[in-house]
Each structure stands twice: as structure tokens, then as C-alpha cells.
Amino acid sequence: MSHLYQTLATDIVKQIENGHYRPGDKLPGIRAISRQRNVSIATTQSAFRVLEDDGWVDVRPRSGFYVRARQTVSPIVAAAQSDPKPSNVTGQDMALSLIKAANKHHILQLGAAVPDLSFLPVQPISQATSQAQKRFGDRALSYEMPPGALELRRQIARRMGEAGCAVSSEEIVITSGCQEALTIALKAVTKAGDIVAIESPTFYGLLQVIESLGLEALEIPVDPQTGMSLDALKLALERWPIKACVVVANCSNPLGYTMPDESKLALTSLLTEHNVPLIEDDVYGDLSFDKHRPALCRSLAPQADIIYCSSFSKTLSPGLRVGWIAAGKHLARVEYLKYVSNIASATLPQLTVAHFLESGRYDRYLRQARGQYARAVSRMTDAVLRYFPEGTRVSQPRGGFVIWVELPCAINTFELAQLALGQGISIAPGPIFSAKQKFKNAMRLSCACKWDEKVEKGLAWLGARIEHMQLSK
Ligand SMILES: Cc1ncc(COP(=O)(O)O)c(C=O)c1O
């Protein structure tokens, strides 16, 4: 027997499906609906909770409930390559030139995966900074030698424990962001010339690390919903002497998938069978839109050889540069590599984050941030579908704040990115997400920007330009 709140939720869904309420529309408030439908406030609240959980509406604090963009999007298609071969990383100079050119104040930042400050807890963090300075005094100005501030490592170990991954604070090494964590993790298990298996497409920062360490990348195709193709990885492990595998299993960048637990488990067993360490980059895990935080590969396979890397760059602030490694059996080497890399990470940011985490405000902030990012993603998706040519495919991320957009025609998005920069718009073109510059007709857009007329105009310009490039083919 269906409950009253379920009937009410179903009725509201029907109204959305019939177009009575469109994506972005504000729904009548809880009191108004309970009056109209002659049901209690509690029943209406339960109905809205169902709508929110099922992804039909978003809550905007102190504003109300808004219809989420229902993605009548054709989902993006998985790469077809099934027999990958290792290669040097090329084309990252072009990524760097674009990033440098785009890093100017007046540019509309849709390229870099850096949240606008309006998404970050700026005030609480600056408060925590002065409190940490007072609390820790001169210590805040001294070296905090590897493995890093104990207060912070304790908090990180506690949080990882709450996410189902029992690690000791002794095993954690603080780094300057997740990028340094990845660099150290790769240095710990490879040497120049070695082959590293990676997702394709992958985060271009990882490609830059691979290139700078003289490693070869073996791009493994991914399924846009479930992540790395384990069949392709198996084949690659049988054919090539792979020395490490790097995966962003939760809310990946750029596609936004979260690998199901069974795939994470299958991945770790496959790697264990071949004696290959997994480097798990979980920088977006806390920003999942799912009801529960997705599991870590490390929590599902605690005995496996996994180096876990993460940071607070996507949640608290990229400028704090606070990241970490849970190094497993590579602890001694990781600690040494951190030391020779830059002696120590800055002390005050470590103590600030420790202080902020101890205050218990992080979870409250995360709840709000996840909602804010989910709304930003649905608003951007909706606008892309409105402005870009018919047939454009958009990813449906399970968390984080980037979307991957595939154009319906063979347009080189690197050319598009250069033209767009001339118009004051930065996008991340598809080829920079591949060692071999694949994905020429794709781009990644960051949704965590301040939404205003400039964004609408920028997207409209991009859509018109793509149409134009398509027609002149
Ligand atoms: C998947 C992934 N890993 C690592 C990083 C680097 O993070 P950090 O800024 O903490 O160095 C990023 C930043 O964009 C990322 O997207």
C-alpha cells in the first residue's frame, strides 16, 4: 500500500513530466502544497525528501525547491578501443599554454576544475586560520617535518575510518595537494621508462606527472557509467609489464562516474593477481551526490597494495594546498620522497585544516556543498543542451562539478578553445585529457562558476561557434 507522501511525490513528478514545471522552475512551498492538497506539513516534507533523493528537485537553502534538469541527454558513449598500447604523453604543452592564458581575472573560467569562491567556505576558513595561528603560536611558523602535523593526520585518519577505511595516523603523509600526492605515489613505485595504466579520458594533471617522470601511459578505455574497462585492463596486464595503475574511482574527472563496489573489488583483485599497485585518487569522493559516501577501493580491499591520495582542494580551498597520502606498505619511501621534494608542506594550512576538522564543521559544510554542486551541474547541463547543437551528449556525473560534453560533429575542440579564449572564455578541450590527444570532439566544462549573464552569453557564443564550425566543414 502506498503512503500518502509517495502518492503526493508521484503526482508532483507527473506534473514535472507533463511540463507543468520545467527545469529550473521553483515549486510551490511546503505550506502552499500542504494547503492545496489538504495533507499535513510532515507528509509534504516527506514527499519532497523523496523527490530530492530521486533527483527530481534541488533544495536551495532559504529559497525553496527547484526542478532539477532532467537529463534528456543522450549519454556519452564508451571508447571502443579494446587493445591499448603504451605511449609517451604528448600535447601537454598545449594544456599548459591554455591554462596559463586562461588564468586571468576577466576570463570566464569554464576550463579549470577550480570552484568559484562562492562555493567555498571562505569565511570559516579564514576564521580557522586566525584561530589556528593563536592556538599553535610559533609552531605555525616552523617546519612541520614529514609525515606532517599529527593533529591533521589524526583527523584525516578519523575521517577515513568513518568512510569505512581503517588507517592509522602513522600511515598518513601530508602533501602539498593531491597533485604532489600523485607525483610521490608514482615515484614510489616506478622508475623512468615504466608503464602506468590510466583511465582514458583522464585528468590532465596526471598526464603531466607521467610525462615529467619519463613514464609511459597506457590508456585504458572507460565506460561512462562504471569506469575503467576491466576486460581491457586484463588484456593490458597480460601483454605489458605495467608497474602501477592510477584510478579516480569516485566521481571521476572528467567523466564523473563512480565505479560500482563490485567493479572496485574486481579491479583490486585483478591488480593483486598481477602484483601491480593501485594508486587511488579520491579527491572528489566527499563530493558525491549519492546518499552515502562511495566506498574507497582501500576500504573494500584492505589487504591490497593501494596508495590512497586525496586533498581538501575541491572541498575547502585549492589555495591551502593540503593533501595527503595513506601510503600502506610504501610509507618509508613516500615519507622520504616527500622530504626530498620540498622538505615539508606549509605548516599554517595544515594546522588550519586540522582546527577546522576538529570543530566538526566540515560535514555540515559538505552537505551544503554537495547540494550546491549538484544544482550547478544540473543548471550547466540544462544550458549546454539549450545552446549547443542537437545531438550533443553530456555526462551525468555522480558527484563533483565538471561535465564532459561530446559534440555531434568532428570539430577540433582545441581550435574551439583557442577561439573561445579570444572571446574571454576558457574551456578544457578533450585532447588534453589523453596521452595521444584523443577526444578531439569533446570538452570538459566546470560548472562551479558564479552563474550570471556572462556565463549564459559565453555558452551561447560557444553553441553558435560550434554550429558555424559544423556548417563550414
Ligand atoms: C582527479 C584530480 N586529482 C588531483 C587533482 C589535483 O588536486 P590538488 O589541487 O589538490 O593538487 C585534481 C585537480 O583538479 C583532480 O581533478
Atom of ligand 1 nearest to the CA of 321: 10
164-195: per-residue pLDDT in tens? 999 999 999 999 999 999 999 999 999 999 99
Ligand 1 lined by 253 (C-beta under 6 Å) = yes
Which of 78-82, 245-249, 273-277, 360-364 is the least confident region? 78-82
pLDDT score at 93: 78
Ligand 1 lined by 281 (C-beta under 6 Å) = yes
Q: Evaluate whether 359 touches 188 at the Cβ level (below 8 Å).
A: no
Reported as a pLDDT band with limits 50, 70 and 90, residue 78 is low
Mutate to test the pocket of ligand 1, among 203, 248, 258, 322 (most ligand atoms within 8 A of CB): 203
Ligand 1 lined by 179 (C-beta under 6 Å) = yes
58-67: per-residue pLDDT in tens? 887 778 888 8
pLDDT score at 1: 47
391-420: per-residue pLDDT in tens? 899 999 999 999 999 998 889 999 999 999
Ligand 1 lined by 323 (C-beta under 6 Å) = yes
Residue 71 pLDDT exceeds 70: no
Reported as a pLDDT band with limits 50, 70 and 90, residue 75 is low
Distance of CA 28 from the midpoint of ligand 1 (Å): 39
| Percent of the chain whose predicted confidence (pLDDT) is above 90 | 76
Residue 103 pLDDT exceeds 80: no
Distance of CA 433 from the midpoint of ligand 1 (Å): 13
pLDDT score at 389: 94
Ligand 1 lined by 313 (C-beta under 6 Å) = yes
Please give the class, per CATH, of domain 4-67: mainly alpha
Distance of CA 142 from the midpoint of ligand 1 (Å): 27
Reported as a pLDDT band with limits 50, 70 and 90, residue 92 is confident
Atom of ligand 1 nearest to the CA of 248: 1
Residues of the chain with CATH 3.90.1150.10: 363-471
Reported as a pLDDT band with limits 50, 70 and 90, residue 52 is confident
Q: Write the burial class of residue 134 (CB in 10 Å: 0-12 exposed, 13-18 middle, 19+ buried).
A: exposed
Residue 70 pLDDT exceeds 80: no
Mutate to test the pocket of ligand 1, among 202, 314, 341, 433 (most ligand atoms within 8 A of CB): 314
Residue 266 pLDDT exceeds 50: yes
Residues of the chain with CATH 3.40.640.10: 122-361
Ligand 1 lined by 178 (C-beta under 6 Å) = yes
352-391: per-residue pLDDT in tens? 999 999 999 999 899 889 989 998 998 999 899 999 999 8
Mutate to test the pocket of ligand 1, among 114, 207, 248, 253 (most ligand atoms within 8 A of CB): 253
Among 31, 50, 84, 113, smallest CA distance to 376 is for: 113
pLDDT score at 392: 93
pLDDT score at 2: 62
Residue 102 pLDDT exceeds 80: no
Residue 99 pLDDT exceeds 90: no
Residues of the chain with CATH 1.10.10.10: 4-67
**Options 3.30.420.340, 3.60.9.10, 3.40.640.10, 2.60.120.680; which CATH number does 122-361 get?**
3.40.640.10
| Helix/strand/coil (H/E/C) assignment for every residue in the chain | CCCHHHHHHHHHHHHHHCCCCCCCCECCCHHHHHHHHCCCHHHHHHHHHHHHHCCCEEEECCCEEEECCCCCCECCCCCCCCCCCEECCCCHHHHHHHHHHHCCCCCEECCCCCCCHHHCCHHHHHHHHHHHHHHHHHHHHCCCCCCCCHHHHHHHHHHHHHCCCCCCHHHEEEECHHHHHHHHHHHHHCCCCCEEEEEECCCHHHHHHHHHCCCEEEEEEEECCCEECHHHHHHHHHHCCEEEEEECCCCCCCCCCCCCHHHHHHHHHHHHHCCCCEEEECCCHHHECCCCCCCCHHHHCCCCCEEEEEECCCCCCHHHCCEEEECHHHHHHHHHHHHHHHCCCCHHHHHHHHHHHHCCHHHHHHHHHHHHHHHHHHHHHHHHHHHCCCCCEECCCCECCEEEEECCCCCCHHHHHHHHHHCCEECEEHHHHCCCCCCCCEEEEECCCCCCHHHHHHHHHHHHHHHHHHHCC
pLDDT score at 422: 92
Average pLDDT value for the chain: 92
Highest averaged pLDDT of the listed ranges 46-55, 84-93, 268-277, 291-300: 268-277
Reported as a pLDDT band with limits 50, 70 and 90, residue 149 is very high
Average pLDDT of the segment spanning 283-308: 95
Please give the class, per CATH, of domain 363-471: alpha beta
Distance of CA 224 from the midpoint of ligand 1 (Å): 20
Distance of CA 443 from the midpoint of ligand 1 (Å): 18
Ligand 1 lined by 113 (C-beta under 6 Å) = yes
More confident residue, 340 or 54: 340
